[in-house]
Structure 1
Amino acid sequence: MPDRKHELDDDTVSSVSAMEALKISATPPILEIISADEVWRFPGPDDDFEPHFECMEVIVRMDTGDHFLVQVHERISSQDILNLDLSLLDLTSVAMEDIPHAFASFLANQLGIEIESTKSITVSKSDVCPTFSSSLTAAPAGMIKYCYLKYAQLAAYEPGNTIIKERVLAEANVCEVLMKNPHPNIMKYWGCYVVDGRIEALCLAKYTMTLAERVDTGVPLDTERCLTGIRDGIQHLHSLGLVHNDINSRNIMMDPADNPVIIDFDSCTREGEKMVKGWTLGWCIKDSMTGERENDFYGLIKLEEYLAAPESCMCCRE
């Protein structure tokens, strides 16, 4: 009698084929490179080494709402990564779980680096998207497509580490305070973009350009009016017991009327609280570890220096 132990009937074969087909989308997801940044390692108080480059970290978002990272352990241009033509990447017949590696191979081939110098990491939503609670505001469904969606900042992501979603939740709570206490020089927050009970992104108003981009246009700017608006926004924050902790030329947006608007509250804390996220090098008091008003006023002084002579302001150079 033949051994039928390894034989499959037609129904079983059909089921297995269907399961395999589900892994490969009929329409491959659209990829978007969100950022490409250098990651540096800095010594702690007890460490005996100099700050050094660790890797380039590339964050990619799929139109499914999923993200992944690719670390490149070679120092290459961020702009070269951001300028990659993703239309050349063929994901037809590539299983969803293999897309991060396929992207890493594409990146290595396009930039002429060894694939062995890359590492792809799939991001789990449970690590980076906090659970939505009734104490927060869900953005009106009709506003989502008109908003700037701020997704979790995934730099230094580690599977199983919850620090990123804690930062998202902390920023959402700050935004709720600002929603109840609006100011013309503080960004407009519409609420949370909620998917399957988790905060996928924060829904913010869209603005024209950053202050740095505005300066780069070469079009004359009323710097006194600009600085007054930023100062007013800072003082409003302080009146609420909040400290921004990361005032710099890229965290100031300009609205269509050329008014400055303070954005990016993931470094914001209550006055005197320990900072949960670092500040931007050159824009904050060195070694500052707690939210103090002096941090914001120091950033304001640096902005004044920058606007007076942007071409010679070292703190603004990447």
Structure 2
Amino acid sequence: MSFKPMFGEGSIKARGNSASPLRSVSWINSSVIFDNRRWECKEAELRWTAPHHLIVLTEAGRTSQTYIKSDGRDIYDGRDRSGDITFVPAGVERVGVYRDTKLSYSALWIDPRLDLPGCKNLSDLRLLINSRDDLIASLLRSLCAETSLGHKPSSIYVEHLTALIMLRLGESNNIRKAKARREPLSRPTLARVREYVDANIGSDISLTELAAVAGMRVDSFARRFKAATGLAPYAFVLEERIRKAEILLGGTDQAIGNIAIRLGFSSQSHFTSTFRRLRGIAPQAYRMNFIPES
């Protein structure tokens, strides 16, 4: 059978093919897309060019052979294994063959126009097939774990995770970077950002929004915000949500589900797991400790 790839131009011709999408989630107007699925086939031939950068983690399974070439050159001839990382820059054609495929994988699609640290350099990087990087694998596994529970992580968290992956790819490809500025945000700028977070705590706040409030580029803002507060922007927003949750749990009788939605969590279970992870106690138990009659 022959079918079109998820994005871009090309075709995949497969024999004995079975593809099972498990989950797909997007953020920032589909500038970042996470896709997790299983794929089995006896043999597949592909020719594919995508408009987005693609990063793939092989979660489990294997192939008996994976052969990839690009721009008329042989790039890889080996096997897929659990933990392998593949990176395909936007606009780069992949031509290849997969044999005896039985894989579970997670794919992160990134729009090359995305204004995040490291994104502009990705187009200059070389194609990587079945490389190893424990940090990138860990970040993608954490995103997979969150979405597998039915949670949709916040945009600011996904932007931070995506930026870390892109910067790591740049480092692994020996991209030389200018030394980053380390000056913290000014007090008035930091105050504006804090006010914005406080006013929009129930919304899906993005890193791009916060940088715009500060009147800065995203990469400069993220560095200088951390220099000023000791926290990455996504961690600061999360801490603010939990701090406000403590106030509401201890000072009101609002239902925990209502508190979760009010503070921008995707569900009560997402709020509960996050609160427990950061405070070491479940929200209901926290409330019981501070309001015994509840």
TM-score by length of 2: 0.23
TM-score by length of 1: 0.22
Name the structure, 1 or 2, with higher relative contact order (CA <8 Å, separation 6+).
2
- Greater strand share, structure number: 2
